[in-house]
Structure 1
Amino acid sequence: MADVALGEIVTFANGRPHPTPGTAYRTYGANGVIGASGEFNAAAHSTIVGRVGTYCGTVHYSPEPCWVTDNAIIAAPKQGVNPRYVYYLLRRLGLNRYRIGSGQPLLTHGILNRLTTARLTRAEQDSAASALGALDDKIAVNGRIAACADALVRARYDASAPRTSTRIGDLGELVRSTVPAADLAGTENYIALEHMPKRHMWLSTWTDASSITSAKRRFASGDILFGKLRPYFHKAGLAFVDGVASTDILVIRPKDPAHRGWLLAALSSDAVIAHASAVGDGTRMPRARWPDIAAFEIPWPGDAAARRFTEFTAALAARVQAAAAETRTLAALRDTLLPQLIP
């Protein structure tokens, strides 16, 4: 099978800074969606490649028109080339291997244009993109299930409007179980701040503890993790597994499991995040303190209503957890098939 230079099948162009204000189109940076824009500078079915910085070489795909910042490169298929095949091809090439520079890694058009790959027919491109795309489409559906469940919990919490209140510390307690790095098994689940999505209460991503070199906090499935470093990033969610967490994360356990849902909704609410951000210690790298969070007053619907709310939340959490498990299986299959379908 003959090789072809990447520049013969893909056109590369840098993104542009300062997107027009608006919400019509997603804005992509070096590591994916970072906001929205009123205009687009990349057509539908474009691939976005991280151009500079930590995420140099990271690859994303946008099925819709979008705005791409100057931290990324727009990769568009040339005539006759399947657009989604371009995305999977660039993922297959592992572009971060070709970056230059140490202090500020960089990918250039010259580097990308000179890379070579096997020349596939359009039929072969379509077949590969169809098989891999079907897996990613189902992964995207699972992501929407989690987002809808998150929105439902928040809406029900906000709509409850109880007349009484209670302190967060009356419902939850801080888990202080510290584990030295030497006592950790490499196979344990590990959650750091980067594994916690912003304003999303389901923690379905983690890694293993094999590379950990410092002490961590032990947590259990059903605990609520709260990002205390720069709390305005709004990172609070429910752990689906046992494991260890970064010490930049507070581990909070419900005093009564029947109140878990209400505590989760409260800790991930805008009001609690705003309070934690306002009272955090430090200016450049503020950190929230548990005593300040524990003392914060939140709405309280009463024991019976809180129990019903937890039942509602638990059913949604179980559906999200099942979808997340399926996503991990689908992603592993996709990654196994990728080098076989795109040599």
Structure 2
Amino acid sequence: MVVGKMKFPFEKRVKLAQGLWLLSWLATLGGAFTFTLGCFLKTELRRRAEVMDNTEIHIVPNTLMLVGLASLGINYFAGRICQDTLDVARFPRWQSFLKPYFTISIFFTSLMLISVILSYAMKGNLEASLKIGLKNGIRFYKDTDTPGRCFQKQTIDRLQMEFQCCGNTDYKDWFEVQWISNRYLDFSSKEVKDRIKSNVDGRYLVDGVPFSCCNPSSPRPCIQYQITNNTAHYNYEHQTEELNIFIRGCREALVNYYMGLMNTIGAGVLSVFLVQASVLASLRYLQTSTEAVLGQENTEIETEGYLLEKGVKETIMETLDPIIKIFQLNQVASGGGEAGAAEAGAAAS
């Protein structure tokens, strides 16, 4: 069953070719835009790689860059083809090229749609990556003298100030780790000794946070130490007073930032996908309607164009059939080789 059959008079074919030429250049710009978005997202993810535990989230920008580059090539050839369809004598040279061209184009266009879906579906992976990455970043905050972690403190401080956040889940995460380096502790002080002895792991834990957690918009000078001790500060009530440090955790802040970024990118790429799909559909109509003119004396006759000569299922099976046959031949060859080796071994014995 033919899918999407339409009639094309000569004037309509000319207008289709002209419109497709403009649309292909628009889609080329869309491909460049997609590649740029992928590069931007990749850069943003790499900027904060120190607070991410894995690189699975990079599949989104990598896919965007790949389909962006592929789109440039696809639409370049689409523009060339639609120019040659206006000259029927030059069109036959493209006929053998068009079938693999459409297969590759549909693959990369589908990959573009998959990248849009991934940009919305990777929230769980992003959150899990940040949860572990930020936890390790806070734990190694004090290791400014350790090779490989020298800039961990700087990274966390910049992150907390830029996104106005504190800790992983919230500011209390800093209470559970020793974030002050031993080189800045006076071990002759009774207070320091008592705090270390009171901890099973021998860590110096305080109910305080780094300076980068302080909210500069607060009218009160920052209370970053003894946050839970009401008597340590004048006119202060920890349970009821609005703290002058950032309350929101950095994981929540970063997830919101990156998901907002990817959702916006996803919407932009989706619009490019629609343009790209329109190019392929228009080119298919132009191809089939022009092929009906070949061999005719009058090239200005009305012809029919269609998207698929057969049904969707039959077309998919016909496209996959050569690939399936190749795999079957490989299996037969490997099976024959094993059988031959077995017979040779039996003869030798």
TM exceeds 0.5?
no
The structure in which a higher percent of residues are strand is 1
Please report the TM-score for the alignment, with normalisation by the length of structure 1: 0.26
Structure with the greater relative contact order (CA < 8 A, sep ≥ 6): 1 or 2? 2
The structure in which a higher percent of residues are helix is 2
